[in-house]
Structure 1
Amino acid sequence: MSYVDEVLVKVKEKNSHEPEFIQAVTEVLESLRPVIEKEEEKYRRDAILERMTEPDRIISFRVPWVDDKGQAQVNRGFRVQFNNAIGPYKGGLRLHPSVNQSIIKFLGFEQCFKNSLTGLPIGGGKGGSDFDPKGKSDREIMAFCKSFITELYKYIGADEDVPAGDIGVGAREIGYMYGQYKRITGLYEGVLTGKGLSYGGSLARKEATGYGLVYITDEMLRANGKSLEGKTVVVSGSGNVAIYAIEKAIALGAKPVTACDSTGWVYDPDGIDVAVLQDVKEVKRARLTEYVKARPNAEYHEGKGVWSVKCDIALPCATQNELDLEDAKALVANGCFAVCEGANMPTTLEATEYLQKNGVYFLPGKAANAGGVATSALEMSQNSERLSWTFEEVDAKLKNIMVNIFRNLDAAAKAYGKEGDYVAGANIAGFIKVCDAMLAHGIV
């Protein structure tokens, strides 16, 4: 049995109750076969794959808080510090009812390679809670965030572990958490990213993941003799990633025509109006039914369905495993030639394989959505230097990072006989950097 197969068996046995984590590990290790096979004995001797698939530590804790009716509530909090071989742990905090250890481990594992691809000195981690911020008052959210950070603060720090936002965690939540961290520790440091501009945040952070997704998509298309100009784009999601991917795609000459939330989706044949979408989602925090009231030509549909719309390019920007095999078949049948992931692992393994076998250019999230964490690392740099860069400076650095990510993963794929396989290229390029650091540190 090969070393990769041995480790996959072990991972599945030890984590049989964690399907999302197993899915992520399987996808990465399968694509690393050509790298591992070249020096299998060395990797086996130092147990590189076992060490890489086992987090440094998992912190699980209760989060008690009191709602507006005076009733005490209890949620479960997590922080998985996966690997700090190339820098302090870095990764977001997710607040969503679906959060469990499997999802946080899969996100933390992916984060190791994503952060490595940025070229910046940051390791991988992830955290969150099964708390649902939807429908909660500001006071309830503040009560939860203060309780959450009261436990988590013991394990994080500017040079140890730097959390950021993710699903359910925006500027409001980061503000409450930062205020509590500062109150408890007495430290004013860059321990959280995604902060408000008045207390150490970075310009362009909100836009970074969406902008970065489009920058790397554009670079991939150019490398294959195509461009975004005049292309129809289908986008899922309606949060920061989706909104700013839509905005940047329009700026580069494309026409995004969809957006969705947890209850339904909209199709706007005239192209999504970003200002209306921002008003509905960022100002009113309303459902997409409000979008069609302002755009009479747009259609609202309940449930899923964005992938049924005819398009050239698809940008899944909502959540994990939202694009399955049937969706992939619909995209191919409708002429889609590129799928680039704005969310974390939004495409199932079966769908990814189908898209690749049918000649669709496919960019995985660990590369395509790295713009957010890259700009978080730029925020850390500004905090350390006590500086604040202009929007244009941050945006230029972000674009450069995303272009380099594509070029590095493209080169890695070609070097190992996987030209055009950007999933393998991203995994290989991310793995090699983390692995080299781990080997240099010895068995730790």
Structure 2
Amino acid sequence: MSPTLHPRLEPVRETILKRNPGEAEFHQAVDEVLMSLGPVLERRPDYVEASIIERLAEPERQIIFRVPWVDDQGRVNVNRGFRVEYNSALGPYKGGLRFHPSVYLGIVKFLGFEQIFKNSLTGLPIGGGKGGADFDPKGKSDAEVMRFCQSFMTELYRHIGEYTDVPAGDIGVGGREIGYLFGQYKRITNRYEAGVLTGKGLSWGGAAARTEATGYGTVFLTQEMLATKGRSFDGTKVVISGSGNVAIYAAQKVAQLGGTVIAMSDSGGYVVDEKGIDLEIVRDLKENKRARISEYADLRKQSTFVADGSIWEVACDVALPCATQNELSADAAKTLVKNGCIAVAEGANMPTTPDATDILQEAGVLFAPGKASNCGGVAVSALEMQQNASRDSWSFEHTEQRLETIMKGVFERCQSTADEFDVPGDYVKGANIAGFVKVADAMLALGVV
């Protein structure tokens, strides 16, 4: 049964929707949190008196700027850049940059709002923020991407810093883009301020395991969730949507833990390989050739490529949506339930629609929301900041161990909070409440700012 909104929150929600018209993704992210907070307000009326929720829903700062750049044909192009510095009660703003044609203010606000609670759940001292541009790196030359990144940073540099706002990568922003962005920041400021960006290369201030962190973290948390039912990844069939960074490294960790990933996808369709996806082929296609997943079937004759339909039609024990927002619909959730899926964990940001989440939870499927299950990336970004601040460098093994410990802590916070508020096993409410309470208490302590 779908949750209902607490009466005290109805006028709050109405004001938020009125103040932010047409931003569907942002509205969805706010609704998910608001629907969880009724039990908290019953115990903590001081949150209402201090207008904590109204303040949380309004970003501390929203920056929109023009990004002009010249393509290889000498034409001047103009994109729009964004940085939403959402909440700094726990630390400097922290969150990625997304370069994709779909980016607009509503997407950036949804991601930034989610980031507040995600970062809170890690237990690390980082606030929430997000940014990006409606620039599409696909099909662009390295020189075009460099010129765009340099123009983007020429405006952004004045708003960021290791004690202010620390961007990282997201969709469309990988190691190449972070390198160009950092190079321009260093050139403009004349400072080697390594902690101003995370996701850097290992030879110039990056953290070992950062590339793998989001995917690994999703699997580590799923492993904890499966253990509550006496299960593990050993012998399971797993379907992972997407074939980018998160999906690839989630698949790698699943295989290390004894599971078999049988399907992966991209925007053109999905491949099914019942003997197990060959990750080296996927990595070469995506990381080196920047090709489509359909080419996997040309290289692995035992596999099948499906251009139409949904990857969630493939029967599996565990489903990990790792592509983009709202990719797992109500119909897909019904199919997963019918096919006997026992666990779903979000590797992307808000990839499951609200009605799909309801269907999965009502059917008893273990479900982990993205703010808990995909926070591994930002956790290792915070570890990268620690290394930069101390001029240190940790091994892959040490960093991965820290990541696993952090993800266990995230799950324990979600689980114990769900138990405390009488919704055992509801990790959505557990995550929302645990993330909210920590930020809310910090906001109360800091006064009306």
User: Which TM bucket (shorter chain)?
Assistant: over 0.9
Q: Following TM superposition, by how much is the alpha carbon of 1:294 offset from its aligned partner in structure 2, in angstroms?
A: 1.8
| Amino acid corresponding to residue 157 of structure 1 in structure 2 | G
Q: Which residue number in structure 2 is paired with residue 426 of structure 1? A: 431
TM-score scaled to structure 1, two decimals?
0.99
Task: Assess, with a 3 A threshold, how the Cα gap between structure 1 residues 304 and 83 changes in structure 2: closer, same or farther.
Answer: farther
The alignment partner of 2:31 has SS state of helix
Task: Select 1:166's aligned residue among 157, 170, 173.
Answer: 170
Partner Cα separation in structure 2 for residue 127 and residue 367 of structure 1: 20
| Amino acid corresponding to residue 31 of structure 2 in structure 1 | T
The alignment partner of 2:196 has SS state of coil
Task: Assess, with a 3 A threshold, how the Cα gap between structure 1 residues 221 and 55 changes in structure 2: closer, same or farther.
Answer: same
| Amino acid corresponding to residue 192 of structure 1 in structure 2 | L
Q: Which residue number in structure 2 is paired with residue 295 of structure 1? A: 300
1:108 equivalent in alignment to 2:112 = yes
| Amino acid corresponding to residue 133 of structure 1 in structure 2 | P
1:3 equivalent in alignment to 2:8 = yes
CA contact (8 A) 2:92 2:127 kept: yes
Task: Select 1:442's aligned residue among 425, 443, 447.
Answer: 447
Q: Report the aligned-residue RMSD.
A: 0.8
Q: Which residue number in structure 1 is paired with residue 199 of structure 2? A: 194
The alignment partner of 2:198 has SS state of coil
Structure 2 unaligned spans of 5+ = 1-5
Alpha-carbon displacement from aligned partner over 1:408-427 (angstroms, at most 9, x marks no partner): 11000000001010000000
1:117 equivalent in alignment to 2:121 = yes
Task: Select 1:89's aligned residue among 89, 93, 103.
Answer: 93
The alignment partner of 1:443 has SS state of coil
Q: Following TM superposition, by how much is the alpha carbon of 1:370 offset from its aligned partner in structure 2, in angstroms?
A: 0.4
CA contact (8 A) 1:4 1:36 kept: no
Partner Cα separation in structure 2 for residue 16 and residue 332 of structure 1: 35
Q: Following TM superposition, by how much is the alpha carbon of 1:197 offset from its aligned partner in structure 2, in angstroms?
A: 1.0
Alpha-carbon displacement from aligned partner over 1:150-190 (angstroms, at most 9, x marks no partner): 00001000110000000000000000000000000011111
1:49 equivalent in alignment to 2:58 = no
Q: Following TM superposition, by how much is the alpha carbon of 1:303 offset from its aligned partner in structure 2, in angstroms?
A: 3.8
CA contact (8 A) 1:62 1:75 kept: yes
The alignment partner of 1:321 has SS state of coil
| Amino acid corresponding to residue 436 of structure 1 in structure 2 | D
Q: Which residue number in structure 1 is paired with residue 152 of structure 2? A: 148
CA contact (8 A) 2:47 2:440 kept: no
Partner Cα separation in structure 2 for residue 135 and residue 102 of structure 1: 25
CA contact (8 A) 2:9 2:34 kept: yes
Please identify, of 400-409 and 302-311, the stretch whose mean Cα deviation from structure 2 is larger.
Answer: 302-311
Partner Cα separation in structure 2 for residue 223 and residue 406 of structure 1: 11
Alpha-carbon displacement from aligned partner over 1:252-289 (angstroms, at most 9, x marks no partner): 01111111111111111111111111111111111112
1:262 equivalent in alignment to 2:267 = yes
Structure 1 unaligned spans of 5+ = none
Q: Which residue number in structure 1 is paired with residue 413 of structure 2? A: 408
| Amino acid corresponding to residue 26 of structure 1 in structure 2 | D
Q: Following TM superposition, by how much is the alpha carbon of 1:196 offset from its aligned partner in structure 2, in angstroms?
A: 0.7
Matched residues, percent identical? Answer: 60
The alignment partner of 1:31 has SS state of coil
1:74 equivalent in alignment to 2:55 = no
| Amino acid corresponding to residue 109 of structure 2 in structure 1 | K
TM-score scaled to structure 2, two decimals?
0.98
CA contact (8 A) 1:221 1:227 kept: yes
Q: Which residue number in structure 1 is paired with residue 286 of structure 2? A: 281
Alpha-carbon displacement from aligned partner over 1:138-158 (angstroms, at most 9, x marks no partner): 000000000000000010001
Please identify, of 300-309 and 399-408, the stretch whose mean Cα deviation from structure 2 is larger.
Answer: 300-309
| Amino acid corresponding to residue 52 of structure 1 in structure 2 | L
Alpha-carbon displacement from aligned partner over 1:423-442 (angstroms, at most 9, x marks no partner): 00000110111011000001
The alignment partner of 2:383 has SS state of helix
Task: Assess, with a 3 A threshold, how the Cα gap between structure 1 residues 73 and 304 changes in structure 2: closer, same or farther.
Answer: farther
Q: Which residue number in structure 2 is paired with residue 307 of structure 1? A: 312
Partner Cα separation in structure 1 for residue 239 and residue 261 of structure 2: 6
Q: Following TM superposition, by how much is the alpha carbon of 1:231 offset from its aligned partner in structure 2, in angstroms?
A: 0.6
Q: Following TM superposition, by how much is the alpha carbon of 1:301 offset from its aligned partner in structure 2, in angstroms?
A: 1.1
| Amino acid corresponding to residue 164 of structure 2 in structure 1 | E
Partner Cα separation in structure 1 for residue 17 and residue 130 of structure 2: 21
Please identify, of 301-310 and 383-392, the stretch whose mean Cα deviation from structure 2 is larger.
Answer: 301-310
The alignment partner of 1:260 has SS state of strand
Q: Following TM superposition, by how much is the alpha carbon of 1:304 offset from its aligned partner in structure 2, in angstroms?
A: 4.3
Task: Assess, with a 3 A threshold, how the Cα gap between structure 1 residues 2 and 360 changes in structure 2: closer, same or farther.
Answer: same
Partner Cα separation in structure 1 for residue 422 and residue 171 of structure 2: 36
1:227 equivalent in alignment to 2:232 = yes
